[in-house]
Amino acid sequence: MSKKNKTSSLSGLRKQEKKLGYIFASPWLIGLVIFGAFPILASLFLSFTRYRMVGTPEWIGLANYRALMFNDSIFWTSLWNTLYHVFLSVPLGLFVGIILALLLNSKIRGIGIYRTLFYLPNVVSIVAMSLLWLWLFQPNFGLINQVLSPIYNLFNMEPLGWYRDADLSKLTLILMGLWTAGGSMIIYLAQMQDIPKDYYEAAEIDGANGFQQIIKITLPLMTPSIFFNFIMGIIAGFQVFAIAYIMTQGGPGRSTYYYGYYLFDKMINDNNMGQASAMAWILLLITLVITLIALTLNRFVFYLGDQD
Amino acid sequence: MQSDNTFKEHRDPKLTLKQRRLIKNTLIHAVLILLAFVFMFPFLWMFFTALKTPAELLQGIEVLLPKDPQWENFRVAVTTVPFFMYLKNSLILVFFAVLGTLFSATLSAYAFAKLQWPGRDVLFVVMLATMMIPAQVILIPSYILYDLIGWLGTRLPLIVPYFFGGGAAFYIFLLRQFFKGIPKELTESAIVDGAGHFKIFFYIMLPLTRPALITVSLLTFMFVWNDYFGPLIYLSNPDHWTLALGLRGFQTQFTGRYDLMMAAAILVMLPTIVLFFIAQKYFIEGITFTGIKG
Amino acid sequence: MKKIMLLSMILLVTITLSACGSDEYSDRIEIEFWHQSPVGSDSYSGLRRIIREFNESQDEYVVRGTGINFWDYWDRVNIAIASNNAPDLGYHTLDNVILRAENQALYNISDLIEADIEAGVETLDPTVFLENQLEFATYDGDLYALPFSATTRMLFYNLDLFEAAGLSEDDVPTTWDELYEVAKQLDKVDGNTIEVLGFDPSFGEGTYHQYLWTDGLDFFDEDLNPTLNTERHLEILEWMYDFNEEYPRSALDAFGEANQMLGINPFAAGRVAMMVASDGLYETLRPLGDNINYGVTHIPLPDEDGVRVNWGSGFSIEMYDNGDEDKKAGTWAFLKYLLDYDTQVELADTMGWLMSHIPAMEAYAEGNEILEAFVNELEYAVDKVYVPYAPNWHATDWDQFFTEGLSGAISAEEVLTRARNLYIEKQENYERSN
C-alpha cells in the first residue's frame, strides 16, 4: 500500500470522526444525561443538607464537610486505612492476577477445569469464603500458623495474629482479597488471545525461549489490560468494604474500618444521609486525583492499534 | 508457554523433547492441584452444608461430612419457592442486560478507542468518575427518578439502563483497551479499501475482540444473575422476583435454614460455573493476521 | 444482529404489558403490607392465611402482603420511606419510631383511636401492650405506631452440663457472685483448649449496656449526654473483661472463633453452659428437641440490690402517611385485626416471635415453661433509648472500643474514655448541623 493513498483516506475519515464520535458514544452519553446525571447531582445536593433519610432535606451549607474535616477522628482513621489498602492491594492484586493468568494460559490437559476452580471464589457465597479464610488465618488453629509453627519456634517468636493484630489486619485482608484475583485473570486471558500468533512464531525463529517470549511479547502486549485492572483496582480499592464487614467488622481497634464502611455506617446506622453524601463526594475527589495521576502511566501502555 | 524451552539453561541433554515436556507439565499440574484444593474448599463446604439436617447444622462441622446426606434439601429448595418462575425472571433480566451492555459498551468503547472527537478525553474521565461514587448514595435519588418516570414496580429500571451504558463504564473502559490493542495493520487495510467506521466496527473490531466480548457477557451475566439488591429495591411484585432475590427467603431472623440456603445457592451457582467453563474454552487461540485479511 | 434486536424489543414490550394483570378482589381498595415472611420462609403460609382471613372477612379492602427477608427488609423499607413510596403498613424498629414521627412519615394512631371512640366503633385498647413499648411509640404525647413484637433477654442454662458437673437447677445463679462460682465449676479445659465454658458475659447477647442497667446505670443521662465516666462504669466493664481472666485471651478467642467457624451456636452445641440470649435462641433450639435439656432465668444481678431488667427490643407496626383517606381507613381496620387477641396468638405461633399483646402471649405460652418464663420477663424489658446524634450507640459506635478492650489492646478505662469522646464528638457535630 502506498503511503499517499493511506493518508488521504485517513484524513477523509478524520473529518467524519467528530460527528461519528458522538454517534458511537451516544448510548452512553444519553444514559448519562437521563439516568446518571440526576442521581449524581442529587447526591451532591444532599451533601450540603441535613437529611435523615426521612422528611425533607434542609440546606446547611458546608456543615457536613466541616464536621468531617475538623471534628471527626474516625473520618481520618478510615481514610488512612483505605489509602493503605489501595497502595498495597492494587500492585499485589495485579501481580497475582498476572501470574495466575500466565500459569493458566498453559496448554495442558484439564486446563479448563483448573481455570474454573481458580475462578470459583468469585462465584461462591461470601459466607463460604469467610470460613475458608478463618480456617487458614485463625491465629490459634489456622492452617497457615500451623505450617509456620516450625519457623516461629526457630526464631522463638509469638505466632502472628493476622486479622486479630491491629498492625497486620489490613495486610491480612489484602491477602484474603487475593483469592478473588481470578476475576482479573479472565481479562488477562482474554487479552492474551488477542496477541497475534505471528509474533511468537517470529520470536521462536529468532531463538527466544518461553520465558523471553513472556517478557518480550506477552507482558508488553498485556499492558492494556494490566492498565485497565490497575485503574479499576484503584477505583474499587477506595470503596473496599465487604471483606472487612464480614471478617473483622472493622476491627481490631478500627484498624480495618475503611472509608466505605464508615460511609455505610453513617447512612444505615446513623441515618445521616447528608454526611454520607459528603463523604462520597470527598471520596470521589480523592479517587479522581489519584486516578488522574495513574492515568499518566498510559504512555507506557503498548497499544498495537496506536503503533506505527 | 508456546515452546518448552523454559528450562533451557538447566536441561539435561539426555532428555528428549517429549520427556522434558512431561516433566514440565507434571510440575505445572502439581502446583495447580495444590492451589486448586485451597480454592475449592468454600465450594465443598457449601456442598456438604447443603446435605445436612437442621440438627446437624447446629452441631457444626466437627465432622465435615453429613452422616445421612439430605439430597432431599435440593428438592425442597426447588419446590418451596416458585423456582422456575424465579429462573424465568432471572433469565429475562440477564438476557436484556447482556444484550444491552454489549450494544452500548461496544459502540461507546469504539468512540473512546478509535475516534477523535472534541471532549472525548474529558468525557472519558467523567466516565471513570461515575464509578468512583459509592452506589449507596445515589440509590435513593435513582429510586425517586424511576418513581417520577413511573417505572417503579416494573422491570424497566433493571433493563433499560443497560442499553444506555448503565453500569457499563467498567465494560466500556475494558473494551476500549481491547479495541486499542487491535493491530493497526488490520484496520488500515480496511480503510484503504474504503470501509467506514461502522464497517470497521462490525467486521473487524467485533470479530477480533471475541474473547473480550465473551468476557463482558460473562461478567454482565454473573453480575445480574447474582444481584439481589437491584431486584429487591425495584421489583415490588414478587412475581417478578429473580432467583438471587427469591432464594434469600430462606434467610430468616432466627431459624436461618443454612442447609436450604446452600442447596439453593449451589443451584444458582451452577449455571455460572458451566458458562464459565464453556466461555474459557474460547480463550485458547491467538489471532492471526492471515486469517482475517483474506 | 438486527433480528436479535427486533426480537428483544418485541419481548420487552410483551413483558411490560403483561406486568399489568388482574386477579380476584380487583374492585376493592388495595392495602399494601410489607412483612418479613417471604416465600420459602417457615412463616410464609401462616401469615398468608392470616391475611386471607382478613380479606375474606369484609368486602371493601384487599390486603396485598409482600414478604422480604429480615436482613434485606430494612434497606427496602428505608429507601421506600425516604422517597415517599412506603407501603400502607409495615414493620419497623420500635426504638426509633420518633424519627419517623417527627418527620411526618406516620399517621397519628391516637387520632384514629379517638375517632373510633367518637363513632362508637370497636377500637384498639392500648393497655394490652407493655407500657415501656408504648412509650417508644409515642411522640409529642400521641401514638404514632404500635408495638408489634416483643423481644426479651434471659440467661439460658444447659441442665445436661449442670448435671455433668454435679450441679442441679437449684444452683442456677441469680447474682454475679453465684454466677461466677457456678460458671467456674462448669468450665472444662483440656491443656490449652477450652472445651466447655461455664459463662462469659460477652457471649450471646450479653451487652455492656444491659449489665449497666442491672446496676441502675446507663450510657447517657436524662438529657442524653454521654456518661460512662464513673468508677462503677469501669468496675462493670472490668467485670466483663476479667470474668475468664485465668485463660489466655488467645484461647478464649480461639474458642469463640471455633464456634463461628463451625457455624454453630455455642449454647446449642453444648460448648457454653450458660449464655444470655433472647427468645430467638428458643426458636433456634427447637429443632434439637429433647437432645438438649435447658432452662431460662432472669439475667443475674450485680447483688441483691440490683435492678431486674433486660434489653427488650421489638418491632413496631406503622401506618405510613401516603395521603389516601380510603387506604388509611382500610389499613387501620387491618392493623386492628393484626393486633387483636386471636390474631396475635396465631401470629406468635406462625412467626416464632413473642408478640406485643401481653394477655394473648400469656395464653399462648401457657404450658410451655420456657415461653412462660419469657412472657413473664417481658415486664422487666426495657428498650434502648433513641439518641438522635448516635442512633447506633450500642452497636457500631461502641463495639469497636469494647472489642479492643476485650483483646487487651487498651485498658477498660481507655475504652470508656474513648467511647465517651466519640459520643461527645458526634453530639457536637449533630448540634452544629441542626
CATH 1.10.3720.10 fits B78-293, yes or no: yes
Facing residues of C355 across strands? C149
User: What is the Cα–Cα distance from C244 to C228, expressed in whole angstroms?
Assistant: 23
Q: How much of chain A exceeds pLDDT 90, in percent?
A: 46
pLDDT value at C174 more than 80 = yes
Lowest mean pLDDT: which of A14-28, A254-268, B91-105, C382-396? A14-28
The pLDDT of residue C48: 94
Decide which of B173 and B8 is more confident: B173
The pLDDT of residue B292: 43
User: What is the Cα–Cα distance from C312 to C147, expressed in whole angstroms?
Assistant: 12
Decide which of A53 and C413 is more confident: C413
Question: Does C257 contact A271 at a Cβ distance shorter than 8 Å?
Answer: no
Q: Note whether B138 and A2 are within 8 A (CB).
A: no
pLDDT value at C18 more than 60 = no
The mean per-residue pLDDT over the stretch C117-146 comes to 94
Q: Which domain holds residue C158?
A: 153-200+245-311
The mean per-residue pLDDT over the stretch B114-125 comes to 92
The packing angle between helices A3-31 and B184-192, to 10°, is 110
The pLDDT of residue B50: 84
- The residues in B 105-164 lying below 8 A from A, measured between CB atoms, are 105, 107-108, 110-118, 120, 123, 125-134, 136-142, 144-145, 161, 163-164
ipTM of the complex in this document: 0.90
pLDDT value at B186 more than 60 = yes
Which residue from A165, A217, A290 is spatially nearest to B1, judged by alpha carbons?
Answer: A217
Q: How much of chain C exceeds pLDDT 90, in percent?
A: 74
The pLDDT of residue A7: 52
How does residue B252 score in pLDDT terms, banded at 50, 70 and 90?
Answer: low
Estimate to the nearest angstrom the gap between the alpha carbon of C56 and the chain centroid.
32
| Whether C163 and C264 share a structural domain | yes
The pLDDT of residue B108: 95
pLDDT value at C214 more than 60 = yes
How does residue C107 score in pLDDT terms, banded at 50, 70 and 90?
Answer: very high
User: What is the Cα–Cα distance from B255 to A124, expressed in whole angstroms?
Assistant: 22
User: What is the Cα–Cα distance from C17 to C118, expressed in whole angstroms?
Assistant: 46
The pLDDT of residue B290: 44
- The residues in B 189-218 lying below 8 A from A, measured between CB atoms, are 189, 191-192, 194, 196-197, 201, 208-209, 211-212, 214-215, 218
Lowest mean pLDDT: which of B97-111, C48-62, C246-260, C278-292? C246-260
pLDDT value at A253 more than 60 = yes
Q: Note whether A210 and B6 are within 8 A (CB).
A: yes
pLDDT value at B5 more than 50 = no
The mean per-residue pLDDT over the stretch C210-238 comes to 95
pLDDT value at C252 more than 90 = no
The pLDDT of residue C142: 96
Whether residue C354 is contained in a domain is answered as yes
pLDDT value at A6 more than 90 = no
Q: In chain A, what residues touch B192 (CB-CB under 8 Å)?
A: 1, 5-6, 9
| Whether C298 and C334 share a structural domain | no
Q: How many CB pairs under 8 A join A and C?
A: 95
Domain containing residue C165: CATH number? 3.40.190.10
Give the residue extent of every domain in chain A: 68-306
- The residues in B 223-282 lying below 8 A from C, measured between CB atoms, are 228-229, 232-233, 236-238, 240, 246-255, 258, 260
pLDDT value at A5 more than 80 = no
The pLDDT of residue A82: 96
| Whether C79 and C178 share a structural domain | no
How does residue B4 score in pLDDT terms, banded at 50, 70 and 90?
Answer: very low
| Whether C232 and C321 share a structural domain | no
Q: Please give the residue of chain C at the shortest CA–CA distance from A248.
A: C400
The pLDDT of residue C184: 95
Nearest to C262 among B60, B248, B252 (CB): B60
The mean per-residue pLDDT over the stretch A216-222 comes to 90
Q: Does A296 touch chain B (CB under 8 A)?
A: no
| Whether C135 and C254 share a structural domain | no
Q: Please give the residue of chain C at the shortest CA–CA distance from B142.
A: C83
10 Å Cβ neighbour count for A293? 10
The pLDDT of residue B284: 67
Whether residue C13 is contained in a domain is answered as no
Average pLDDT of chain C is 90
The pLDDT of residue B22: 82
Question: Does C433 contact A50 at a Cβ distance shorter than 8 Å?
Answer: yes
Which residue from B255, C26, C249, C79 is spatially nearest to A54, judged by alpha carbons?
Answer: C79
Residues of chain C with a CB closer than 8 angstroms to some CB in chain A: 74-75, 78, 81-82, 96, 99-100, 102-105, 250-251, 253-254, 257-258, 260-261, 263, 390-392, 395-396, 399-400, 403-404, 407, 409-410, 422, 425-426, 428-429, 432-434
Coil, helix or strand at residue C153? strand
Question: Does B253 contact C70 at a Cβ distance shorter than 8 Å?
Answer: yes
The mean per-residue pLDDT over the stretch A262-266 comes to 93
Question: Does C284 contact B58 at a Cβ distance shorter than 8 Å?
Answer: yes
| Whether C306 and C157 share a structural domain | yes
Domain tally, chain C? 3
The pLDDT of residue A140: 79
pLDDT digits (tens, 9 = 90+) for C370-416: 999 999 999 999 999 999 999 999 998 999 999 999 888 899 999 99
Whether residue C58 is contained in a domain is answered as yes
The pLDDT of residue B3: 42
User: What is the Cα–Cα distance from A9 to B175, expressed in whole angstroms?
Assistant: 26
How does residue C7 score in pLDDT terms, banded at 50, 70 and 90?
Answer: low
| φ/ψ of residue B166, rounded to 5 | -65, 125
| Burial class of C110 by CB neighbour count within 10 A (0 to 12, 13 to 18, 19+) | middle
Average pLDDT of chain B is 83
The pLDDT of residue C10: 63
pLDDT value at B7 more than 50 = no
The pLDDT of residue B189: 78
Coil, helix or strand at residue B60? coil
The mean per-residue pLDDT over the stretch B132-161 comes to 92
Whether residue C213 is contained in a domain is answered as no
pLDDT value at C209 more than 50 = yes
Shortest distance, CA C382 to any CA of chain A (angstroms) = 21
Q: How much of chain B exceeds pLDDT 70, in percent?
A: 85
Give the list of residues 6+ apart from residue C322 with CB closer than 8 angstroms, or none.
C84, C86, C88
Nearest to C40 among B80, B140, B233 (CB): B80
The pLDDT of residue B14: 63
Lowest mean pLDDT: which of A108-117, C177-186, C201-210, C354-363? A108-117
How does residue C26 score in pLDDT terms, banded at 50, 70 and 90?
Answer: confident
The pLDDT of residue A132: 78
Q: How much of chain C exceeds pLDDT 70, in percent?
A: 93
Over B2-46, what HEC string results? Answer: CCCHHHHHHCCCCCCHHHHHHHHHHHHHHHHHHHHHHHHHHHHHH
The mean per-residue pLDDT over the stretch C134-159 comes to 95
The mean per-residue pLDDT over the stretch A172-189 comes to 88
User: What is the Cα–Cα distance from C318 to C359, expressed in whole angstroms?
Assistant: 22
pLDDT digits (tens, 9 = 90+) for A140-171: 778 888 888 889 988 888 888 888 888 999 99
Nearest to B269 among A34, A124, A295 (CB): A124
| Whether C181 and C296 share a structural domain | yes
The packing angle between helices C412-432 and C398-406, to 10°, is 170
Q: Which CATH class is domain A68-306?
A: mainly alpha
The pLDDT of residue A3: 46
pLDDT value at C23 more than 80 = no
pLDDT value at C307 more than 80 = yes
Estimate to the nearest angstrom the gap between the alpha carbon of A307 and the chain centroid.
28
Instruction: Output helix, strand, coil percentages for chain B, rounded to the nearest 5.
Output: 75, 0, 25
Under DSSP, the state recorded for C41 is: S
Most confident of B272-276, C143-147, C348-352, C401-405: C143-147
| Whether C109 and C51 share a structural domain | yes
User: What is the Cα–Cα distance from C166 to C197, expressed in whole angstroms?
Assistant: 15
The pLDDT of residue A15: 73
How does residue A209 score in pLDDT terms, banded at 50, 70 and 90?
Answer: confident
Whether residue C228 is contained in a domain is answered as yes
The pLDDT of residue A8: 53
pLDDT value at C159 more than 80 = yes
| Whether C161 and C233 share a structural domain | no
| φ/ψ of residue A179, rounded to 5 | -60, -25
10 Å Cβ neighbour count for C222? 7
pLDDT value at C303 more than 80 = yes
Decide which of B250 and A172 is more confident: A172
| Whether C406 and C336 share a structural domain | no
The pLDDT of residue C39: 85
